Amino acid sequence: MSEQFERDLGIFKKYHNLLIKISPDFITNLINETNKIEGWLGGYQIPIMWSIFSTLEGKAVEVGCWKGRATSAFKFEIPKDQFKLYCVDPFLGSAEHKEYLQGSSTRADFEKNLRDRGVLDSVSVVEKYSAEAAKDFEDNSLDLVFIDAEHDYDNVKLDILSWTPKLKSGGIICGHDYPEPNKKNAGFEELAQAVNEEVRDSNNFNEFSWVWGIWGARKK
């Protein structure tokens, strides 16, 4: 966690510096407990996201929840009433899960995993597709939006455009699976293109950066 970066960490600098002060045993326990749930948030992604949520107050939205792996990390040993978390997902999986799920819902698994960890009552489940769910929230009402749903260009762009108006000025937008820009064919190039166009190069945000596959910026 003491890794030295040779570039501007932007929005993540504050949270990286906070992690350096956290007990290594706590971080190990956080990662180990999160890894017990099926999902994709992994490695240092887990503590950097926990660090962001550990200082958060107000309202946050997680777009794409699967079975609650990331959700459990966001709520790990943080007071239940410190922030309100809305979990947005139709619970039908992404395109690559359709054959595996055969129309079945993952919501029961999601709720069980959070219930087992005592945090289900501190989230609000919104069982809708992202763009439809965004219509339920007032503009300038959210403090953070985490996007980890479909990873193709059109859907990532739609998610960003749908939720940007809902963020307060100074609010954080962030997401999963941003590929290392200097590595060719790293995967998720369409996701990176949408994020770069609608966040990194947009006049709506500043402090853009990425760390350990997590991208983020602050709304102006």
The predicted structure's pLDDT at residue 12: 97
- Whether the pLDDT of residue 212 is over 80: the answer is yes
Stretch 146-169: mean pLDDT, rounded? 97
For 23-43, write each residue's pLDDT tens digit. Answer: 999 999 999 999 999 999 999
Q: Give residue 184's pLDDT band: very low, low, confident or very high (50, 70, 90).
A: confident
CA–CA dist 41, 45 (Å, integer): 6
- Whether the pLDDT of residue 135 is over 60: the answer is yes
Stretch 196-208: mean pLDDT, rounded? 98
Q: What is the CATH number of domain 10-219?
A: 3.40.50.150
Q: What average pLDDT does the structure give for the chain? A: 94
Residue entry with tokens 């819902």: 105
- Whether the pLDDT of residue 3 is over 60: the answer is no
Stretch 177-192: mean pLDDT, rounded? 90
What are the φ and ψ backbone dihedral angles of 61, each rounded to 5 degrees? -125, 130
CA–CA dist 133, 10 (Å, integer): 29
The predicted structure's pLDDT at residue 4: 58
Question: What number of other Cβ atoms are within 10 A of residue 165's Cβ?
Answer: 15
The predicted structure's pLDDT at residue 104: 84
Stretch 123-128: mean pLDDT, rounded? 98
Domain ranges of the chain: 10-219
- Whether the pLDDT of residue 100 is over 80: the answer is no
- Whether the pLDDT of residue 204 is over 70: the answer is yes
The predicted structure's pLDDT at residue 151: 95
Please name every residue paired with 84 in a beta bridge, in sequence order, or none if there are none: 59
How far, CA to CA in Å, does 209 sit from each of 58, 125, 136, 180?
23, 29, 29, 11
